[in-house]
Amino acid sequence: MFPTLDRALQSLPNGIDIKKSDCSSLHMGDECHNRNRAATSLFLRAIGPALARTNQDNEVLAKVIEFIDRNDHFFLNLSMPAGKAMLEPAEGIPGSTIVTVMARNGTDFGIRLALCRSVGLLHLPGSPGVVFSPVHGERR
C-alpha cells in the first residue's frame, strides 16, 4: 500500500490538506477520533485522481481503494499526528492553560497543559474530584 499511496502523494504539488479535511468532516458528523467515515471518504476522494494517474497495477490499485474504503478509521492515522503537530507549537508558553495533550491507557487519563511542557496532570480513577500533579501535589 505504501508505494501506491506514496506515488500518488508525490504527484500532488500541494499534498492533501489534512486540516481542511478535519474541518469538513466535523461538519459531516465525524469527531476525527472514533467516527472517521466522512474524513476517510474525503481523503479517498482527494487522493483518488492521483491514485488513478500514478497507477501501475489495476489489481493493486483496487486493493488500496478497497482497504481505505472498508476501513472507516483509516483517516485516524492521519488526523491524530496532524492534531499533535498543530498543538506542539503551543507547548512551553508561560501561563498558557491550553490543553496540548490528552492520553489514556485504559486505566488512567492524563492531560498536558501548554505551560508545563514535560509535566502532565493525571486523573486518578476511583478518586472522584482528585487530580494529581507532580508539580503541585494532590488537590481536591
pLDDT, residue 105, reads 74
- The pTM (predicted TM-score) of the whole model is 0.75
pLDDT, residue 46, reads 96
pLDDT, residue 109, reads 72
pLDDT, residue 66, reads 97
Q: Which of 79, 12, 78 is nearest to 46 (CA)?
A: 12
CB-hemisphere CA count at 13 Å for 2? 0
SS3 of 23, please? Answer: helix
Q: Is 104 exposed, middle or buried (0-12, 13-18, 19+ CB in 10 A)?
A: exposed
Tens digit of pLDDT per residue, the chain (140 long)? 999 999 999 999 999 999 999 999 999 999 888 899 999 999 999 999 999 999 999 999 999 999 999 999 999 999 999 989 999 999 888 888 888 888 777 766 777 888 875 556 565 556 555 555 555 444 44
